[in-house]
Amino acid sequence: MKLSFFWSREFLLNRSFLWLLFLVNLAGTIYGYIWYEYQLIDTYNTHPLWRIVFVPDSPTASLFFTLALLYLLFPPHRPSRLVSIGRSILEALAVVCSVKYGLWAVAMIAAGAWQGADLNWKHYMLVTSHLGMAFEALLFFRFMKAGAAALIVATGWLFLNDTVDYTFGVFPTLADELDDDLSAVRAFTYGLSIFSLAAALHVWWWHRKKV
């Protein structure tokens, strides 16, 4: 069996593999929301309720991708225009959010370690899982219906999230070593939103060109 088989449509869209991927992502999503438990409680107690939506970045990205997998497991037959638009936006959110927050978490862990933060097994687990988020989103994007317009709309959500995070202080908890680098973290976060859009558009254009 050639290694390329594991990147093929036949393997990736196999229902057994899709169900496994769905369950893994669902479990990761639930764990992610549990990880944010204390920050969610603090935000609920000290901020207007609407800001709580912008707190759990990575698990929400994972949730988008988990839901997008359902379209591959149960593709709608003759969907209405509204359903098609909803699917495109959800898939676009799944891709740009997974790429952005997958890479963001790895970068923040690495930056903290560079400045002396201690790493434990949880950090290595987070690095592995978040790299997986970014990789699987770009890998499966070729099977999704989202196009350039949906990706741009989804990136608007990223910019809104960035603005709320760093205007009202509901961004993910950082290592103490990064507290004096908040302006650089904010600039990097906005830049990563643009990069995520560019990466998704590149994959979309490349696969569209092949068809």
pLDDT at 79: 86
pLDDT at 78: 85
Q: Which residues of 11-36 are buried (b: 16+ CB within 10 A; e: fewer)?
A: ebeeeeebeebbeebeebbeebbebb
* pLDDT average, residue stretch 27-51: 97
Segment 136-162, tens digit of pLDDT: 999 999 999 999 999 999 999 999 999
**pLDDT tops 90 at residue 1:** no
- Across the chain, the runs of DSSP E, i.e. the strands, are none
In degrees, rounded to 5, the angle at the alpha carbon of residue 160 between the alpha carbons of residues 182 and 103 is 55
Q: What is the DSSP string of 136-178?
A: HHHHHGGGS---HHHHHHHHHHHHHHHHHHHHHT-SPP--GGG
Span 90-102, mean pLDDT? 98
Backbone angles phi, psi at 36, to 5 degrees: -85, 10
By mean pLDDT, which of 9-13, 56-60, 85-89, 147-151 is the weakest? 9-13
Q: What is the mean pLDDT of the chain?
A: 94
Which of 91-100, 163-172, 199-208 shows the lowest per-residue confidence on average (mean pLDDT)? Answer: 199-208
Average pLDDT over residues 104-125: 94
Token pair listed for 168 = 């009202």
How many residues are listed for the chain in this entry?
211
pLDDT score for 165: 97
pLDDT in tens, 6-34: 677 888 999 999 999 999 999 999 999 99
Among candidates 49, 19, 42, 35, which has minimal Cα distance to 129? Answer: 35
Q: How confident is the model at residue 135 (pLDDT cuts 50, 70, 90)?
A: very high
Residue the block writes with tokens 């988990």? 66
Given a cut of 60, is residue 121 above it in pLDDT?
Answer: yes
Instruction: Please give the Cα distance from 93 to 64 (Å, whole number).
Output: 6
Q: Which residue ranges make up each domain of the chain?
A: 3-210
Would you tell me how many other CB atoms lie within 10 Å of the CB of residue 204? Answer: 20
149, 6, 57, 195 alpha-carbon torsion, rounded to 10°? -50
Two tokens, residue 92: 């676009």
CA distance 148 to 129: 27
**What is the model's pLDDT at position 77?**
86
% of the chain exceeding 70 in pLDDT: 96
